C-alpha cells in the first residue's frame, strides 16, 4: 500500500466534494434541471471523485468498509456513460444526500491518518 498515494487521492476527493458544495449553494432541483453550466460543473467533480476512488488502494478501501467505494464508482460510471443526457435525479440525490456524508467520511479517514 502506498499511504502517500492514497492521501493524494483522498485530498482530490475532498477538493471535489468542496467544489460541489460550493457550486450547489442555494441551488434548487429546478435550477439544476435548467442550468447546464451547474450540471456540467457538478458532474465533472463527480467524475473526479469516481476516478480518484478507482486509484485508492484496496487495503485502504478494506479498512473503511463504511464508505461505499463501489457504489460511488458505479454511480460515476452511470453518469459518465449516459451518452444522451444526464440523469439529473441521480445527480440531485448525490448533492443532497451523498456529498455531505462522503465529506465527513473522507475527512475522518484523513484525520485518522494512522488508518491509512
Cβ atoms of residues 7 and 113 within 8 Å? yes
Instruction: Work out the burial of residue 55: count CB atoms within 10 Å of its CB; fewer than 13 is exposed, 13-18 middle, 19 or more buried.
Output: exposed
Confirm whether 64 is a catalytic residue.
no
Alpha-carbon distance values, 32 to 36, 48, 101 (Å): 7, 19, 20
The SS3 assignment for 116 reads: coil
Confirm whether 12 is a catalytic residue.
no
Choose, from 5, 36, 70, 76, the residue flagged as catalytic. Answer: 76
> Residue 53's closest CA among 98, 96, 112?
98
Choose, from 36, 70, 81, 82, the residue flagged as catalytic. Answer: 81
Q: Catalytic positions, please?
A: 76, 81
Amino acid at each position: 500500500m502506498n499511504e502517500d498515494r492514497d492521501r493524494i487521492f483522498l485530498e482530490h476527493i475532498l477538493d471535489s466534494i468542496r467544489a460541489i458544495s460550493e457550486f450547489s449553494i442555494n441551488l434548487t432541483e429546478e435550477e439544476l434541471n435548467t442550468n447546464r453550466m451547474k450540471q456540467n460543473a457538478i458532474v465533472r467533480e463527480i467524475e473526479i471523485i469516481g476516478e480518484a476512488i478507482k486509484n485508492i488502494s484496496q487495503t485502504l478501501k478494506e479498512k473503511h468498509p463504511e464508505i461505499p467505494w463501489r457504489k460511488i464508482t458505479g454511480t460515476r460510471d452511470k453518469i459518465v456513460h449516459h451518452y444522451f443526457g444526464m440523469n439529473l435525479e441521480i445527480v440531485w440525490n448525490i448533492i443532497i444526500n451523498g456529498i455531505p456524508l462522503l465529506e465527513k467520511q473522507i475527512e475522518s479517514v484523513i484525520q485518522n491518518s494512522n488508518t491509512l
